[in-house]
Chain A
Amino acid sequence: MEKQIQDAYIVAAVRTPVGKAPRGMFRAVRPDDMLAHVLTEALARVPSVDREAIDDVVVGCAIPEAEQGMNVARIGLLLAGLPRSVSGMTVNRFCSSGLQAVAIAADRIRLGEADVMIGAGTESMSMIPMGGHKIAMNEAIFRSDENIGIAYGMGVTAEKVAAKWHVEREAQDAFAVESHRRAIAATEAGEFRDEIAPYRVRTMVPDLETGEVRTIERLVSDDEGPRPGTSMDVLAKLRPVFAAKGSVTAGNSSQTSDGAGAVVLASEAAIKRFGLTPLARFVGYAVAGVPPEIMGIGPIEAIPKVLRQTGRSLADLDWIELNEAFAAQSLAVIRELDIDPSRVNPQGGAIALGHPLGATGAIRVSTLVHGMRRRRQHLGMVTMCVGTGMGAAGVFEVL
């Protein structure tokens, strides 16, 4: 499998804090503005890089329409002031779009066709609802039972996973409580400070008293999702959302969120040319398909696949960022693959930190890289399940 001619290294990784959608701190912040912000901030950390040397900007976005449509990658990079010679493309693999973007950027370098690449992700779930402004299904999916899973909402698939893997409500709630606990502890300890590029939110509102437009400015630097006081008692009161007799609640599911992340990748030649310090090496990436109706188990297929591909074992991994789409599917993956829970999401996951769909992959790469560097760990992974039945997993090595 080792066909690459050179390695790709991460030389900068930043993200916005993650806001709650649809009524959170970024509710009026455009996803292309968030993207421009993280591109600017990522490049600010490698000032020596000649902007003209950037070969391409690959941006993940799960629902690339409206404010994040029209090839948001190109618009974002132009808004960020990058030279017009720099190109951009938007990629969509739903929840793994951000990770996919980093992998594509790395692959361009690994093939020897580029020396400096940016992989990023941006998503505003406040502005573009899950599924987009116009969901338009194909009626062919109702012609046979085989494809009915395409019609399933993510929550229903989580219920199916919970039932099939016997993940009880109590375990799901306990997992959610722990996610919040870890996220709050990490935030309080400043663990996210290296990766977060604070964002100055400017909101323009009509002041009906004065008849003037009032601009409200606020600098945000912390994730909005973690909720102190999340306890088993509080979560037990929530009712199942997706099935009458189900176990999946708003409290043990990922939060809908807004955010963006960007990663600058460089070849060894570029590192030498611009005098850069590599933070981590991109080791490998794999995706795998699973039945759409149990999409949450995607990592069960993707993780072994990427480990085989990269010649590593689960035991080699110090830190696994497993996107918590739902506690039910996270626990099914952890139990099925027998993963040590203490290595999974040590700083909390999407249940507490939020899940801005196509941005999450790029955001969690930043978390992984900076976190492992602080803890002097070596090998880590970002993995997630993907709607309509896929899993994705990427492996990163901190140097």
Chain B
Amino acid sequence: MVQVMKHEIRRAAVLGAGVMGAQIAAHLVNAGVPTLLFELPGREAGDGSGPARRAIEGLAKLDPAPLALPSLAEHVQPANYDEHLGRLSDCDLVIEAISERLDWKHQLYERIVPHLAADAILASNTSGLSIADLASGLPAERQSRFCGLHFFNPPRYMHLVELIPGPATSARLMDDLESFLVTGLGKGVVRAKDTPNFIGNRIGVFSILAAFHHTQALGLGFDEVDALTGVRIGRPKSATYRTADVVGLDTLVHVIGTMERALTEDPWHAMFPVPAWLGRLVEEGALGQKSGRGIYRKAGRDIQVLDPDSMDYRPADRVIAPEVDAILKDRDAARRLSALRGSEHPQARFLWNVTRDTLHYCACHLESIADNARDLDLAIRWGFGWQEGPFELWQSVGWQQMARWIVEDIRAGSTLASAPLPDWALDTTRTGVHGNEGSWSPLGRLQRPRSALPVYRRQPFPDRVVGEDRTFGTTVFESDAVRLWTTGDDIGVLSFKSKMHAIGEDVLDGVAEAVDEAERSLAGLVLWQTEAPFSVGANLSGPSAPKSGRPPPTALGSMVKRLRREAESAILKAARRLNVADALMAGRLEKIESVVSQFQATSQLLRYCRIPTVAAVDGMALGGGCEFVMHCDRAVATLESYIGLVEVGVGLVPAGGGCKELVMRTAADARDGDLFPFLRGYFQAAATAEVGRSAHHARRLGYLRASDPIVMNRSELLHVAKAELTALAERGYRPPLPARSIRVAGRSALATLKAHLVNLCAGEFISDHDYQVASRLAHVMCGGIVEENSTVDEAWLLALERTAFMELLATEKTQARIEHTLRTGKPLRN
């Protein structure tokens, strides 16, 4: 069962401390790999590694954060080529990420090769140069241990890594490196052929170029196209043009330039010159987000967009036309595409044209750039944040129908190139490219099964493509709110079915029933969701709304852009889920109190039931979700877990056992010593509704324990959670003894916390009601107005939670906050 990595990467080096190099180094230390970051020597005396050191310092300023915790920066060691090449001999992996110049790279290889350990892996993070050309600069015996390793920006958050062998690269090296990238760095690996821009950028950038062309041809505005090509069609919110701004227009021009220079035989070559308006923006230094202006710019509070004809900006206010929007709302892909194709509306024609041309391009080039259709689709999903890959869309529409439409358009001369579809695409018996047996490989002329590399045995449910079985194990029982299932072993997996996996009464009932069933017939229970988030928290309004039938979002690119905003608006999301307003208005306070009691009882059940429980966390675990995480015997969290108690944001206190847990953790941390220094940190996190920005940060905040493992790859989460559960069960699990004497900080600590709040209130940093809310939280977390070091039990603390929750819920201002947040999605400061 255990898949051990054969080639261990003990230390790594990254050559080149540019934005990519430094961020790759940061992600290596996120993964626990000590890393040297090399840059040219600086001119300052006694500080030859100044440039590398400054790049490491600069990591702290990047957003989203490349490091899971700022303090990890100390594990990236600055180095320079003059003084430290000798240190390369300790490194098992050396990633070159310097400027995209073949001659410079060759010169660098010449310098470093004598210092490399014999079995070290040398890889280039090039995005445009040929791996074969790069390999030619290495001695023959080195070429077998060299390959391309293409990260996407930002490397911590973008799931895709392309792995490109050179002509002499050893197959063993490719397997070793892939295993490390998957388990060690948590990446989604796609093997690409050594063609310009590989797979992700080749297809992704073509799609952008096609959009550029049709935007102009149909006279659409850039903002209009972004409205059309964003979340509405399952792409990142930044859509087409804003993505270009985020990536950097100079970078985009560079990648397009590679296509123009290197793909002279490409039938679409006429598309590859850089559009005049784009060239002009770059000349003007308007490079997008990083230079404050690009295709978009900010004018005060307004966003303006470039008009390519006048090269001036106008307000960005164009939206999707209602008739086109109506088409896009159709879930049926065939009907949707048919309607777009049949419409005369320029917006509809745009979407049809770009979709058709992208699919046309993918079909014609699949054989030369990738082994199979799955690799292409996953590269686009993982590297560009599309919810479904191009071939997945094609297959959803109906292979024959889509192929006919493309052929008709080729004949009509409306496609961007006249190249015919390849014969395999025209095969009249074809129903798709993906299936359970594998995905179409044009070169092999077979359905290529998923990789047999042992590392993938750790992924019971990898990101699956259309046509593959998308079910999860065998159902033990299922309600409207939850599903308990197994994969044929004796470990129960409990998944919530509610939207955003919010926890309502029905979910609470489901958890209790699952625990009951597991105690009867299973070795233990893993709480795992079929897609992120883990849970956005409590929903006290009634039956949970079942989630839509859409496939789970791959969340990659879109997640990156949303990440920061999401963390910041976590409170809002929690509030929305915490749909208590209706019940309030209807005077159902009593009912709510009983649900709160039920919530607490469920948390306690997870802690004290007779079987081990493991929470497997990916994405957000907020409020009640966080409380479940805290009550399971173990939590296993992916690096990208965002955990926190956010109730204070809507004027409430955590009341599902979260405060109680923090009090117990305080007492455990303090051992026999003073409670207050430990209490202060926990209080501050809960009182400010702080959400951890990574699993490491959640550990720092106290929501994860030191014993809760962190996994890098979300697809391995269930595997590791089950392993943890097995370990708990194998030792002859017994629930913990109930906590009968919990030491609390008492009334002096409460007064001290309140004194701090009084100052914030006097300084008008917080409102009177903020003071009320935080004071109640302090009251609970200090164990009430009792003497310092009094001992209480869990029931005492849970009663304090309930009382504080209900008291706050009864205040007009908390009600106004909840109501306002539900109505507007914004927080209310009152």
Q: Let me know if B754 and A137 touch, CB within 8 A.
A: yes
Q: Let me know if B755 and A243 touch, CB within 8 A.
A: no
Q: What's the Cα separation between A246 and B762 when bound, in Å?
A: 11
Contacts of B785 in A (CB 8 A): 139
Let me know if B136 is at the binding interface, CB within 8 A: no
Contacts of A152 in B (CB 8 A): 758-759, 762
Size category of the binding interface on chain B: 10 to 19
Contacts of A159 in B (CB 8 A): 762-763
Contacts of B759 in A (CB 8 A): 151-153, 155-156, 242
Residue-wise, chain B 764-804 has the 8 Å CB interface mask toward A (1 for contact) of: 11000000000000000000010010000000000000000
Out of B674, B676, B677, B747, name the residue touching A139 (CB < 8 Å): B747
The B interface, classified by DSSP as helix, strand, loop or mixed, is helix
Residue-wise, chain A 243-262 has the 8 Å CB interface mask toward B (1 for contact) of: 11110000000000000000
Q: Let me know if B763 and A244 touch, CB within 8 A.
A: yes
Let me know if B750 is at the binding interface, CB within 8 A: yes
Contacts of B676 in A (CB 8 A): 134, 136
Q: Let me know if A139 and B751 touch, CB within 8 A.
A: yes
Q: Let me know if A245 and B754 touch, CB within 8 A.
A: no
Most buried by A among B751, B759, B763: B763
Out of A137, A156, A246, name the residue touching B748 (CB < 8 Å): A137
Residue-wise, chain B 543-585 has the 8 Å CB interface mask toward A (1 for contact) of: 0000000000000000000000000000000000000000000
Give residues 736-769 of B contacting A (CB, 8 Å): 747-752, 754-755, 758-759, 762-765
Q: What's the Cα separation between A153 and B763 when bound, in Å?
A: 10
B282 CB to closest chain A CB (Å) equals: 34
Out of A135, A136, A148, A246, name the residue touching B763 (CB < 8 Å): A246
Q: Let me know if A141 and B763 touch, CB within 8 A.
A: no
Residue-wise, chain A 135-153 has the 8 Å CB interface mask toward B (1 for contact) of: 1111111100000101111
Q: Let me know if A151 and B754 touch, CB within 8 A.
A: yes
Residue-wise, chain A 144-180 has the 8 Å CB interface mask toward B (1 for contact) of: 0000101111011001100000000000000000000
Out of A142, A156, A160, A243, name the residue touching B754 (CB < 8 Å): A142
Q: Which residue of A lies closest to B754 (CB)?
A: A142
Q: Let me know if A148 and B758 touch, CB within 8 A.
A: yes
Give residues 658-697 of B contacting A (CB, 8 Å): 674, 676-677
Tell me whether A243 and B747 are in contact in the complex, defined as CB-CB below 8 angstroms, given that A135-B752, A151-B754 are known contacts: no
Q: Let me know if A134 and B763 touch, CB within 8 A.
A: no
Q: What's the Cα separation between A137 and B748 when bound, in Å?
A: 5
Contacts of B749 in A (CB 8 A): 136
Q: Which residue of A lies closest to B766 (CB)?
A: A244
Q: Which residue of A lies closest to B748 (CB)?
A: A136
Q: What's the Cα separation between A148 and B747 when bound, in Å?
A: 16
Contacts of B751 in A (CB 8 A): 136-142, 151
Q: Which residue of B lies closest to A242 (CB)?
A: B763
Out of B677, B755, B762, B764, name the residue touching A137 (CB < 8 Å): B755
Contacts of B758 in A (CB 8 A): 142, 148, 151-152
Residue-wise, chain B 714-756 has the 8 Å CB interface mask toward A (1 for contact) of: 0000000000000000000000000000000001111110110
Contacts of B752 in A (CB 8 A): 135-137
Residue-wise, chain A 353-395 has the 8 Å CB interface mask toward B (1 for contact) of: 0000000000000000000000000000000000000000000
A374 CB to closest chain B CB (Å) equals: 42
B755 CB to closest chain A CB (Å) equals: 4
Q: What's the Cα separation between A13 and B788 when bound, in Å?
A: 44
Contacts of A155 in B (CB 8 A): 759, 763
Contacts of A137 in B (CB 8 A): 748, 751-752, 754-755
B129 CB to closest chain A CB (Å) equals: 40
Contacts of A139 in B (CB 8 A): 747-748, 750-751, 754, 785
Most buried by A among B674, B758, B762: B762
A138 CB to closest chain B CB (Å) equals: 6
Give residues 314-339 of A contacting B (CB, 8 Å): none
B396 CB to closest chain A CB (Å) equals: 53
Interface positions of A (Cβ within 8 A of B): 134-142, 148, 150-153, 155-156, 159-160, 242-246
Given A134-B676, A137-B754, 13 more A-B residue pairs with CB atoms under 8 Å apart are A136-B752, A136-B788, A137-B751, A137-B752, A139-B754, A148-B758, A151-B754, A151-B758, A151-B759, A155-B759, A159-B762, A242-B763, A246-B763
Listed by A's residue number, 15 A-B pairs whose Cβ atoms lie within 8 Å are A134-B677, A136-B676, A137-B751, A137-B754, A137-B755, A140-B751, A151-B758, A152-B758, A152-B762, A156-B759, A160-B762, A243-B762, A244-B764, A244-B765, A245-B764
Interface positions of B (Cβ within 8 A of A): 674, 676-677, 747-752, 754-755, 758-759, 762-765, 785, 788
Closest 5 interchain pairs by CB? Answer: A137-B751, A243-B763, A151-B755, A139-B751, A136-B748
